[in-house]
Amino acid sequence: MNVLVTRPEAAPILASAPLPQPSRVARLRPYAANILPPLLLTLLFFLAWEALCSGPGSNLPPPSQVWAESSELILRPFYIRGGLDRGLGLHLFASLERVALGFVLAAIAGIALGLLIGTSDFAMKGLDPIFQVLRTVPPLAWLPLSLAAFREATPSAIFVIFITAIWPIIINTAVGVRNVPQDYRNVAAVIQLRGPAFFWRIVLPAAAPYIFTGLRIGIGLAWLAIIAAEMLIGGVGIGFFIWDAWNSSHLSDIFVALFYVGITGFVLDRIVSALGQLATRGTQSS
C-alpha cells in the first residue's frame, strides 16, 4: 500500500514595511534644544546691555561702542607694535604659560602630599592642621613674600599660582585615598600586593575621581589668581592688560579682555574634565 505524503506549502514570507526615516527637522531638533536657549539668552543679554548703557548718563560703553573702539583686539589678537603694545592673544598666552607651569607643579606636589596624608595617620595629624590654616590665606597675600624671595615678576606669579592651586588638590587626593573601598584593600592583601604596586593598581585608580575633582577646582582657582597677580606685578599678561586698559580709560578693551578670560577659564575646566573622564573611564561626573 502506497501512502502519498504531501509536503505542506511554504508559508508566504511577508515583507516588512520599511521604517519611516526621521526628517531633517527631527534630526536637528535635539541640537536646537541645546543651542537655542543659550543663544537666545545671550542675545537678550546684549540687547539689555545696549539699552541700559546707551543713555547719556551711562558710565559704561554699550556693545556697539565696544565693537567700534576695540574691534581690532577681536579681529587681530596677535599683532605686535613694539614694547607692550601687542594683541590680546599674546597677553593671554603669557598668562597661560604661567598658569600651566604653576599648576603642573601644584598637581605634582599636591597629589604626592595627598597620597601621604591619605595613607599615613601620623602625616594626617601633623600636616592637616597646618594645611587647613595655610589654605585660608588669600592668594594675593603671598605676592609680597614671593616678590621679596624671587625678585622677579614671573617666578612670583608662578608661586602664587602654585600656592593657590595646591590646597584643593591635596585635600581631594587625601579624601580619595581614605575612601578606597575596603574590598579593594582586602583583595590587595589576598594577592599580597604591597608597596608601589599597591598604589598604582589599587589606590590611584580608586582615588582618581577625587584627584581630578581637586585638579578642576585647582585650575579654576589658578586662573582667577593669575589675573589678580598680573594686575600688581605688571609686565605682560591678561591681568596686566586689564589694569593698563583701566589706567588708560579704555573700558571697551576691558570688556573684550573679560570675554577672553571667561572663555579661557571655561576651556581650561573642560580640558581637565575631559582628561578626568578619560583617566577614570567615565566615572567622573562633568
Q: Is the pLDDT of residue 202 over 90?
A: no
**Is residue 229 included in any domain, yes or no?**
yes
Are 284 and 276 in contact by the 8 Å Cβ rule? The answer is yes
- Is there a domain that residue 23 lies in? no
Distances (CA, A) of 249 to 12, 80, 244, 257: 85, 21, 9, 14
Q: Which three cell numbers stand for residue 174?
A: 587625601
Pick from 3-12, 33-42, 204-213 the range whose average pLDDT is largest.
Answer: 204-213
Assigned domain for 243 exists:
no
Query: Is there a domain that residue 13 lies in?
Result: no
What does the buried/exposed string (b/e) look like for 120-152 if buried means 16 or more CB atoms within 10 Å of the residue's CB?
Answer: eeeeeeebeeebeeeeeeebeebbeebbeeeee
Write down the pLDDT at residue 24. Answer: 66
- Lookup: cell for 86: 601687542
Instruction: Report pTM.
Output: 0.80
Whether residue 173 lies inside any domain: the answer is yes
- Cα distance between residue 279 and residue 132, in whole Å: 28
Instruction: Identify the pLDDT of residue 100.
Output: 94
Q: Which domain CATH number covers 195?
A: 1.10.3720.10
Instruction: Give the mean model confidence (pLDDT) for residues 177-188.
Output: 76
Residue 29 covered by a domain:
no
Contact status, residue 211 vs residue 283, Cβ threshold 8 Å: no
106 Cβ contact list (under 8 Å, min separation 6): 161, 162, 163, 164, 165, 166, 169, 218, 222
Provide the residue range defining the domain that includes 123.
Answer: 92-237
Domain count, the chain: 1
The one-letter amino acid code at 92 reads L
b/e 216-246 (16+ beta carbons within 10 angstroms → b): bbbbbbbbebbbbbbbbbeebbbbbbbbbbe
Angle between helices 204-233 and 153-178 (to 10 degrees): 160
Angstrom distance (rounded) from CA 14 to CA 284: 49
State residue 17's pLDDT score: 53
Query: Which residues does 117 contact at the CB level (< 8 Å), separation at least 6?
Result: 123, 124, 127, 128, 170, 173, 174, 177
Position 246 in a domain: no
What angle (nearest 5°) sits at the alpha carbon of residue 75, between those of residues 71 and 80?
100
Domain presence at residue 110: yes
Q: What percentage of residues in the chain have a pLDDT greater than 70?
A: 86
Q: How large a percentage of the chain has pLDDT more than 90? A: 25
Check residue 83 and give its pLDDT: 67
State the average pLDDT over residues 11-15. 51
User: Which of residues 108 and 120 earns the better pLDDT score?
Assistant: 108
